[in-house]
Amino acid sequence: MGLIAKQHYIIVGFDPGLADTGFGVIEVKGDKLTCLDYGSLRTPAKVDLTKRLSLLYHKAEEVLNKYKPDLVGIEQLFFCRNVTTAFGVGQARGVVMLAIGQRSIPYLEFTPLQVKQAVVGYGQGSKQQVQRMVKLILNLKTIPKPDDAADGLAIALCAAQSRTTLLV
């Protein structure tokens, strides 16, 4: 059965980063979107890289095992001026993708521009505009913190909007 035919499902969005990987979990029932959870999967800077990646992998596993999503959205690696940052983000993204792949969960990848377009309606929207729209769309009392968590929710919302293009 494809996601198109399904009326109720869970979507997890990941905004990968080595220090902080934001995540957001939403439930879709028909046209109704509900926030189930959000947060940041943090790794300590002074710890060996392999241990940080292992820790991130296990934290991503916890989220996926807890919510058993029908679909995952993840941000694509985009051009970074800082090569060291780009490598760290790429490695973090890789371990999150491994956790997704080991569970055979369908996923969609999005550029930051696509996420902003889906949530704000304008690909050059500011971080603050994205955060305010996430709060509004999900009927939250406050803007999700930290910023990475709001980005994880925005990616989940983008996946919810794009889900009709995915057949499983």
Give the DSSP H/E element, type plus range, for residue 107: strand 107-110
Q: Which of 15, 20, 27, 151 is catalytic?
A: 15
Residue 75 is a catalytic residue? yes
* 147 given a catalytic annotation: no
Residue of 20, 27, 70, 148 marked catalytic: 148
**Residues 63, 38: Cα–Cα separation, whole Å:** 10
Establish whether 20 is a catalytic residue.
Answer: no
Which positions ≥6 away from 48 have C-beta within 8 Å? none
> 162 vs 18, 54, 116, 146, CA distance in Å?
26, 30, 13, 25
Q: Which of 20, 27, 70, 75 is catalytic?
A: 75
Contact call for residues 29 and 8 (beta carbons, < 8 A): yes
What residues are annotated to the active site? 15, 75, 148
